[in-house]
Structure 1
Amino acid sequence: MTLSVLEPAAPAAETVSQRLSLIGRTRAGLSDALAEIGIPEKERRMRVGQLWNWIYHYGVRDFAEMTTIGKGLRGALSERFTLDLPEVTAEQISTDGTRKWLIRMASTGPRDRGAEIECVYIPEVDRGTLCVSSQVGCTLTCTFCHTGTQRLVRNLTTEEIVAQLMVARDRLGDFPNRSAPGGAFVPKDGGRFVSNIVFMGMGEPLYNFDGVRDAIDVISDNEGLSLGRRRITVSTSGVVPQIGPLGDQMGTMLAISLHAVRDDLRNELVPLNKKYPIAELMEACRTYPGLTNAKRITFEYVMLKGVNDSDAEARDLVRLLKGIPAKINLIPFNPWPGTKYECSDWDRIERFSEIVFRAGYASPVRTPRGRDILAACGQLKSETEKLSARARLMLDQDDAAAA
């Protein structure tokens, strides 16, 4: 494992008046930016197309590189806006190649030190998967999840969600004719760049529905970042009212953090179950728009020793999912400091998987990735809490001085 940490300078007092970045904006957002600098409405659609191509296909970081746009417009854009990415304040590299970035978003004013989130890149032989966050912290309190011990700060904006993919591609040298800082580390064989995205980082995506939906529109646009919706998976702990709209408005793959087959146990592991019990969740899954054998729902099931890993629970899981095109991802529990849970023994996991597989369901056991840098499933927890505590102390001191 290697770790690099960059200490950013304190945000200036005039942050709120600084130029805003165009990174992560929707087409409508880019049109609004052009309107701000006086571009006539009849011209904006063409200009939006040009900006879109340069920002999202080529990943340029300087308006001067946009050679198909006139010098005057480039100058006007650079006076009002930037193409800055959020700041990577720490990068950790696992022994298995997994990379975790601690990303600080831009400050919105003198009382905002900039929210921090974690984003993880997982290189595999046939794909490169980026695990993105949708919230700063998490509104849920799943007892086996490290992220769930961190309080919710706020939803991420559409721009901040898209920016995580932009940061990853920039760091990996994953834009045409651009290399990563220090040189790209992924081989140019087409198999280890960002090809898939999972909304399985910090936060509950369906509690930030509009931000996630608009980010997916940007990410999946075939004239820019061009990641197909079948390569995007949105994972939810079971926000039942939003599951149908997710299928209707986003059309992505769906993953359900299930982890238990009885309400009493799931109430403990996933407290959201008290609001949306298993029966309601299963009905929402059965009626998920576009559900077919070719577009199955993934059910995530973390293996907790002596808690949810018995043969009886494996058979109950099969009965519970009857009639739903599905696959079950069995996730060996990834320990984190202070947890009360242990990972199921390997032979127990294999036995559980065998029962599910013999019933006709794919039941792969997810290989833990990035455990040594706390980047594995359920381990994400940024430094936001400590930073927020420092920020609160500084603000308290500022307020006291002002009084």
Structure 2
Amino acid sequence: MDYLMNWDKIKTEIDIEQYFLFKMGSLFSFDKYKQAYISVQNGKHGDIIRFFTHERTGVKMYYSIVFQDSGDIIQFIKKRILQNTNASPEEINRELKDYLGLGNIKDIPKKETIYFQKNSQPNETGFKVYGNIIQKLNQHYKYLIGFRKLSQEVLESELFNNIFFTYQTYANESLGFYLKDIHGEIVGINRIQTQENEFFNKKWFDKNSQNRVGFTFSNKLANTETLSIFESVFDAISFHEMYKLDSIQYCSTNGELSFRKSQLLHNYVIQNNFNKVILGNDNDLAGNYFNLNIIGTFIKEITKISKSENNICIELQSVTERKKINILLQFFKKSNSKFILDDDTELPQSYFTETLSGNINVYFFIIPNELESIQFFVGLLMRAWDLESIITIYQPIHKDFNEDLIQYKNTIHG
């Protein structure tokens, strides 16, 4: 049967973990304590998957802690992707061909796995690049210029030149860009499928990428005074194209921004002597929560921000002078008992206090995890701590600034 692939070759040359991240990475998050990928469904843990290398064969395997089954990439496709333990070889081959970008090609090309040339290997610490970095974008212009509506002039400008690259793995090429920590070290790669197939616009991180400490930065030009923060690099470029502001470095958080990660950005602002910060996060619940996290890092009294499915808790410490905190207290009802923040409880807008030692008080402000409540609290913080002179919030008309750019260009071109 000429449609059959060489499965033994596939088992050794295709990394099952990388395949998993491509197919299901958006549904799972990595737990560093369990050393496994965990899916969360309705606030509760779903499947838990761990990857390991078979001692004798060296083949990368998976093990499901919840369902207690294991196997190689072929078994993974049967049980997790096709959900059919009796799937035929032709069905599995079709799935692998789609992943490899082989389309209707009958045979796997007879070539060895692609490895880095030494002169193209970037200088990373603690992160290994598994593919080949190619500094050409011709095949992605239809995606970048046609689909994303970004201009070639802006893509090739001093700010954004060489931000993107082609990431080549076994028989597959995608659009890639680095994740870097605040010291400029590479800690991961974000990838996007730009070929027009069923995976078009699919995004996934290269394995071992550390997005919890990683950002995608534009180039930093001389005399730059402002850092502008977005969820997506495409939003950042779109914002620049529409507003054409000067003296700005752009930063994207790639869809993840906890309070701890926001503190890293605040440190980056201090290290680079930025005078101002622009926030251009999405016009939705997550985007406004990101705004809250970033603004919180500019207030020394705020020590922690956390959330559950229904509520958000903002912790502030005060020693003696609490005039600014008193502004917040006017809008909250005091509770005599401490609340527990969990997904099963819906708490009222309120606050409670704890005394640590001496005259140090901790204030716990509880707000609903809702768009209007977050916007209201952000406004209070901005006014009470006089942050308007430092931080400017730009809100997109549509969901994000790339969609604003797309709608604008579609309108002017009829």
Indicate the TM-score class for this superposition, using the shorter chain for normalisation: under 0.3
In our comparison, the structure showing a higher alpha carbon Rg is 2
TM-score, normalising length: structure 1: 0.27
Identify the structure with the greater strand proportion. Answer: 2
